[in-house]
Structure 1
Amino acid sequence: MTVLASALDPSGPQYAENRAAMLAKLTEVEIEHAKSLAGGGEKYLARHLKRGKLPARARIELLLDPDTPFLELSPLAAWGSEYTVGASLITGIGVIEGVECLITANDPTVRGGASNPWTLKKALRANEIAFANRLPVVSLVESGGADLPSQKEIFIPGGALFRDLTRLSAAGIPTLAVVFGNSTAGGAYIPGMSDHVIMVSERSKVFLGGPPLVKMATGEESDDESLGGAEMHARTSGLADYVARDEPDALRQARRVVARLNWTKAHPDPGPVAEPKYDPDELLGIVPGDLKVPFDPREVIARIVDGSDFDEFKPLYGASLVTGWARLHGYPVGVLANAQGVLFSAESQKAAQFIQLANQRDVPLVFLHNTTGYMVGREYEQGGIIKHGSMMINAVSNSRVPHISVLMGASYGAGHYGMCGRAYDPRFLFAWPSAKSAVMGPQQLAGVLSIVARASAAAKGQPYDDEGDAALRAMVEQQIESESLPMFLSGRLYDDGVIDPRDTRTVLGLCLSAIHTAPVEGARGGFGVFRM
């Protein structure tokens, strides 16, 4: 039998301790998520509603098919910065008229929907996801353009936003802009470069320069409506393809446009799906609060794959990396999951072979991270850990099947790279609240700095300040600890969201469904030179 057996004891003290630690971290994440949901706050939401406008999330809800999920992406963007959590933009994947689409929506309650540097990063990441997975893009637009005080950080890279729209269209991926209010200056090019444009009568305002700028530049007197209103763009400029009488009508028309796209997935949806044999609620008690304590990733796999059915590959070789085949919401997947944290030569070679096999079979890969990196030390250096670790990274880099990464625990050093970290272009990357990611652990990094400083003082014949060293180590540990936490990393768009472990199977299923909109084809060769 290939159904995984579970040794987890939900009534035991270790489980209770792990669960309590995870729930505490989840509470912290939920507080920050609430800030993103609140947008600009009650005052600006009330002003928005008074103008007869729908909130951005209500627009998305009316756009989506009833009772279908919305996978929000990067909700913590800008966390820890001077800007509002969420970066005044909502992005995610949802189903419209049966078609999975990438949806973006400006939140006009946050500085009028103006774009700051994190808004741009979030929008560009959304476009990456749309392009890689061939998802039609629907933009719900209401923005005054760039947040001018931060223009120096937006203007130059911001051109990529418009470039992406044209490249999506050139690749045959439909783009649709629904303009609810202002879409000015550079923002005017969002409808200008979209395949389909819907504007709302007496609400939409699309122009390169508003009346004040026109007055300053040319001396011409004009008003919003004649300069950039929906009626003008429908009757005179031709920019608007459809004019809606109000916001619900605009969203109704957007649904009709998507219905007429004649859009089909490259792969049909799978058939019946078997639920895991174990309760996903138990995922809360698997990862210890102290990441130095190992845990068996098979306990996680058993609670996310179909029927808890898992064919393990090379179970007796390279045992600190679990690899094997399964189905998840009906889709075939290969799973790589760290067991004991450290990656040795055997694990690296095993991973490289497994990744090649997945590419031969056109099977997407799921990486479950809990690694402190590749093993160091004289024995391991002499045994070829550099070339074997490089072999694994080579395989990940040149693999062509889609990758999804989930950071469960530690994800340090080059192990983060070998397990398909952000720099290796996973289609999606999510983190649990328990995750940590950095060049190395806080204690190790502080210790290295201490050793180097002590050696430097000895070389100069100077006495070493032990009290100062202790203070430095404490400061460095605190800094690295705070910078390795998932909210810090998510705020910088290094993942696509911090998720509740109990939602992992659902999130992965939504991602796999989106992935299979595009062809899934592995590399048939084309890997770099594997140093033997």
Structure 2
Amino acid sequence: MAADIGALFNAGPKVVEGATFEEGLGFQDLGGPLVHCTNGTIDNLAANEAECFEQLRTILSYLPNSGGDAPPVIPSDDPASREDLALRSIIPRRQARMYNPRTIITSVVDRDSWFEIGALWGRTAIGGLARLAGHPVGIISLNCEVNGVMLTNSPAGYAIGTVAERTATMRWGVELAKTYFTTTTPIFNVITRRAFGVAGGVMIGSRDPVMQVAWPSGQWGSLPLDGGIEVGHRHELREAEKEGNKVERYKELEEEYMRLMNPVRTANAFGVEEIIDPKDTRQVCCEWAAHVYDVLIKDRLADRACGKIHPSFA
């Protein structure tokens, strides 16, 4: 939507005034960018019409001409082997501290290739298009700077609590799962920190081929340690509370789990291919993208042409 002239509404100001008695509304008040670029009706904002067309040209440059073609691969002067030592320290040691996932994204993808979609709405998630060594890819990341990395019903996902239940987070979370499980696009996951619960299970284990790597800072599983001890040892902690030593027993359990926590053991249990050095993330992702375009996409296009794969718009 063009910020200077764009507007979208079901009925104009005069009709609205007669129906709802809202007076003095202009086009921008009723359906301008501040309304629709923040509620998800419009994905992207542009300064004017010229910038709108420029954004459209950018998006189309990532996409194939038809469903029977692969996306266009272009030459890239950004080496696939480029390392970024800064990624080793981007994840804070303190779990309560946040970090900016966009910094990781722009470091890993080809320089100046990141095109974000829907940045002003559904802000607990980040999505967009980019290239890896010239290969177009789509990118989805959780945004830990908003809502403590929990997905809400605004972009779809699994926050918890009474507010989440009243706003039908579960319903929209099912839509998220349907989208992940019905896609025929290969998915590659890089776990940088926390991935727990139902949403984590959906997003990192959605369908074949399940390919995922993790940073040493990655933590994943059914439940995080905080809260997981309360759930897994509920009866034991209740009995300890009766004897007046619940706090001591909780600390004992916490220390035991901390001692047993091992990223290699967890990686084996949850199908993580490799724990990688963060500086090598770009090289690993570029190698995967090249393999997908050389092998998997060709097979999928052949299957689509034969009617084995049908497009899904879940």
Give, in whole Å, the separation in 2 of the partners of 1:476 and 1:384. 34
- Counterpart residue identity of residue 472, structure 1: R
Q: Contact conserved, 1:411 with 1:437, CA < 8 A, in 2?
A: yes
Aligned ranges for residues 312-391 of structure 1 at < 5 Å?
Answer: 312-340=116-144, 341-348=149-156, 374-391=158-175
TM-score by length of 1: 0.40
Question: What SS does the aligned partner of 2:193 have?
Answer: strand
Give, in whole Å, the separation in 1 of the partners of 2:231 and 2:270. 28
Aligned ranges for residues 223-302 of structure 1 at < 5 Å?
Answer: 270-275=73-78, 280-302=84-106
Q: Contact conserved, 1:269 with 1:513, CA < 8 A, in 2?
A: no
Q: Give the direction of change, closer, same or farther, for the CA distance of 1:268–1:345 in structure 2 (3 Å limit).
A: closer
Residue 215 of structure 2: aligned partner: 432
Residue 504 of structure 1: aligned partner: 281
The root-mean-square deviation of aligned C-alpha atoms, in Å, is 2.9
State the 1:477 CA deviation: 2.8
Q: Structure 1: where are the runs of 5+ without partners?
A: 1-265, 350-373, 528-532
State the 1:329 CA deviation: 1.0
TM-score by length of 2: 0.65
Structure with a larger share of its residues in strand: 1
State the 1:492 CA deviation: 3.6
Q: Contact conserved, 2:110 with 2:132, CA < 8 A, in 1?
A: yes
Q: Contact conserved, 1:294 with 1:339, CA < 8 A, in 2?
A: no
Q: Which has the larger radius of gyration?
A: 1
Q: Structure 2: where are the runs of 5+ without partners?
A: 1-68, 302-308
* Residue 405 of structure 1 pairs with residue 189 of structure 2: yes
Residue 202 of structure 2: aligned partner: 418
Q: Contact conserved, 1:304 with 1:505, CA < 8 A, in 2?
A: yes
Give, in whole Å, the separation in 2 of the partners of 1:508 and 1:483. 30
* Residue 474 of structure 1 pairs with residue 251 of structure 2: yes
Question: What SS does the aligned partner of 1:306 have?
Answer: coil
Q: Give the direction of change, closer, same or farther, for the CA distance of 1:476–1:526 in structure 2 (3 Å limit).
A: farther
Q: Contact conserved, 2:73 with 2:136, CA < 8 A, in 1?
A: no
Count of residue correspondences: 230
- Counterpart residue identity of residue 346, structure 1: S
State the 1:523 CA deviation: 5.3
Question: What SS does the aligned partner of 1:292 have?
Answer: coil
Name which of 109, 113, 119 aligns with 1:309: 113
State the 1:450 CA deviation: 5.9
Give, in whole Å, the separation in 1 of the partners of 2:310 and 2:94. 38
Q: Contact conserved, 2:72 with 2:136, CA < 8 A, in 1?
A: no
- Counterpart residue identity of residue 98, structure 2: P
Residue 12 of structure 2: aligned partner: none
**Structure 1, residues 393-439: CA drift from partner, whole Å, max 9, x if none?**
11111111010001100011112123233x63344210101001121
- Counterpart residue identity of residue 169, structure 2: I
Residue 65 of structure 2: aligned partner: none
State the 1:495 CA deviation: 0.8
State the 1:331 CA deviation: 0.8
Give, in whole Å, the separation in 1 of the partners of 2:153 and 2:185. 24
Q: Contact conserved, 1:305 with 1:328, CA < 8 A, in 2?
A: yes
Give, in whole Å, the separation in 2 of the partners of 1:269 and 1:476. 53
Stretches of 4+ aligned residues off by more than 6 angstroms: 266-269
* Residue 447 of structure 1 pairs with residue 250 of structure 2: no
Higher RCO (C-alpha under 8 Å, 6+ residues apart): 2
State the 1:388 CA deviation: 1.0
State the 1:466 CA deviation: 3.3
**Structure 1, residues 245-298: CA drift from partner, whole Å, max 9, x if none?**
xxxxxxxxxxxxxxxxxxxxx96993421429x971111121111233221100
Residue 20 of structure 2: aligned partner: none
